[in-house]
Structure 1
């Protein structure tokens, strides 16, 4: 079955959607969309590091994303404004990574694939990495769900309950770095944040509890991945952007539905 590239692509999209959905909810709740973008952009530096040291792309992107996320977390505890720092880090890391990759001699690099993803080129090895990473992220989030949620909603309450908000931030950062590393093959660094944020944002109008929101976000992400892959195959469009267009459509439908319901109650 895995000899079919479309089957591998579908499984890759589903795996990334499963990992991204619960994390995306925390990104939305914490209002950290730009933090996720800066971490994702740092993945290009990881690609350059991987090519320079002849190591796994996953290992390089995971290392770079994790270091960048920890650096940002540390600097924001000082005198730097969050939006300013993230703006500098996000665009600088992307630019430096692109320049570093372009300067490498004797190495053929598909920059468009890293920027926008190349889900149709997913191999069996890539698929194994994606699903192992997704399983690790889901296990980590399930294990720390209550603590992460408490630290997100009320850090003071978390501290009073014996939960260290900084530790939970570190766990969230680790899970986000793993998700970025496994998603780079599917949607690329420029679209990873869309896969994190849009399913969660689309699920919000339908959700009464955090758990329901995470579950609905997962279903939206999976549906968009499969639907975008199908439309891309039928109409010969770029697969990563097509998946994001499906997510944007889901967000629009969800909010129009919520708007109509509010109007009917009025």
Structure 2
């Protein structure tokens, strides 16, 4: 079954969707969209470093993504506006990564594949890394779900309950770095934030509980992957962007449904 490249691509996309769903909900609730974007942009620098030192792409991207996320967390609240700080770090990391790639000699690299993803080229090894990373993210979020939710709702309530909000922020940071590392092969660094945010945002109008929103986001992300890949095959369009386009259409649909319900 795994000899079919479309089957591998579908399974890879579903793995990323399952990892991004619960994490994306916290990104939406905490208004961390730009934070996720900055972490994703830093991944291209991780690709360059991994190739330069002959390391695994996964190790390089997760290391740099984690360093970026920790740097943002450390610098926040120290006289810098968060949106300014994220803008500087996100675009600087992407620019340094692209420049670093240009210095690599003797190494052929498809830069477009890392920027926009190359899901159709996913190998069995890539599939194992993606599903392993996805399982780790889901397990991590599931383990800390209650504490993460409390810290997200109210930091004072979290302190009163014996929960350290900064520790929960670190958990989210780690999960985000892992998700970026496993998703880079599927949708690329420029579209990772879209897969984190759009399915979660689309699920929000249809959900009554946080758990329901995470589950609905996983369903929307999975359907976006399957339908997007089919559309890319039929219409001969780029696979990664096609998946994001379907997710965007789902967001428009759920928003319209929610508006009609309120108007009725």
TM-score relative to the length of structure 1: 0.99
* Partner Cα distance (1:13, 1:126) in 2: 11
Match of 1:128 in 2: 128
Gaps of 5+ in 2: none
* Partner Cα distance (1:96, 1:53) in 2: 16
Written as runs of structure 1 = structure 2, the 5 A alignment for 1:223-262 is: 223-262=223-262
Residue 134 of structure 1: how far off its partner (Å): 0.3
Alignment: residue pair count: 264
* Partner Cα distance (1:123, 1:259) in 2: 42
The C-alpha deviation readout for 1:216-254, integer Å capped at 9, x for no partner, is 000000000011011101111000000000000000000
Q: Secondary structure at the match of 2:3?
A: coil
Residue 77 of structure 1: how far off its partner (Å): 3.3
1:13 aligned onto 2:13: yes
Match of 1:143 in 2: 143
The C-alpha deviation readout for 1:28-56, integer Å capped at 9, x for no partner, is 00000000000000000100110000010
* Partner Cα distance (1:247, 1:27) in 2: 16
The C-alpha deviation readout for 1:86-111, integer Å capped at 9, x for no partner, is 00000010011011101211111111
Residue 261 of structure 1: how far off its partner (Å): 1.1
Q: Secondary structure at the match of 1:21?
A: helix
* Partner Cα distance (1:102, 1:17) in 2: 31
Gaps of 5+ in 1: none
State the superposition RMSD in angstroms.
Answer: 0.5
The C-alpha deviation readout for 1:93-133, integer Å capped at 9, x for no partner, is 00110111012111111110000000000000000000000
Residue 256 of structure 1: how far off its partner (Å): 0.6
TM-score relative to the length of structure 2: 0.99
Q: Secondary structure at the match of 1:148?
A: helix
* Partner Cα distance (1:29, 1:216) in 2: 15
